[in-house]
Amino acid sequence: MTSTNLKIRIDGSAGSAAPYEQLRAQIADRARSGELPAGYKLPTVRGLAEELGLAANTVAKAYRALEGDGVIETRGRNGTFVAAAEGSSREAAAAAQSYAERAHRLGLTEAEALAAATAALRARYATASP
């Protein structure tokens, strides 16, 4: 069973992982690699279940696990999307966004803001203990 849009392949042979786990792992891997970019809209549970020949509950279980891991997010009636980032990456992205907004308010050019951030990172990582 293969999904044409997501390039998901479910192996139904004996000894393979449970279908929901295969689905969860493949979506997570594609999201982490950037193959499924942040903001990518995933198919509905029913739509993907039909496409893969799986029960809707199987796809729903995979989506719940992915959402719990922060890989995807559900936006109510708008659908399910690949989340912006995971854990510490999400926090770093939020901090970077705050910095960018502050640098802009201070009147720094993009080059000046980037130079300041680069200098701070170099200084911090040069003194970081292993």
- Specify the 3-state DSSP secondary structure of 40: coil
Look up residue 86 and give its two tokens.
Answer: 């995971």
pLDDT at 3 over 80: no
- Dump pLDDT digits (tens) for 6-58: 889 999 898 889 999 999 999 999 988 888 888 889 999 999 999 999 999 99
Q: Is 36 exposed, middle or buried (0-12, 13-18, 19+ CB in 10 A)?
A: buried
Q: Rounded to the nearest 5 degrees, what angle is found at the Cα of 30, between the Cα atoms of 10 and 43?
A: 65
Token pair belonging to 10: 């479910």
CB neighbour list of residue 123: distance below 8 Å, 6 or more residues apart: none
The predicted pLDDT at position 129 comes to 53
Q: What is the pLDDT of residue 59?
A: 97
Residues whose CB is less than 8 angstroms from the CB of residue 128 and which lie 6 or more positions away in sequence, other chains included: none
Give the model's pLDDT for residue 124: 87
pTM of the entire structure? 0.64
What is the Cα–Cα distance from 101 to 59, expressed in whole angstroms?
39
Angle, vertex CA 66, rays to CA 64 and CA 68, nearest 5: 70
Whether the per-residue pLDDT at 101 is higher than 90: the answer is: no
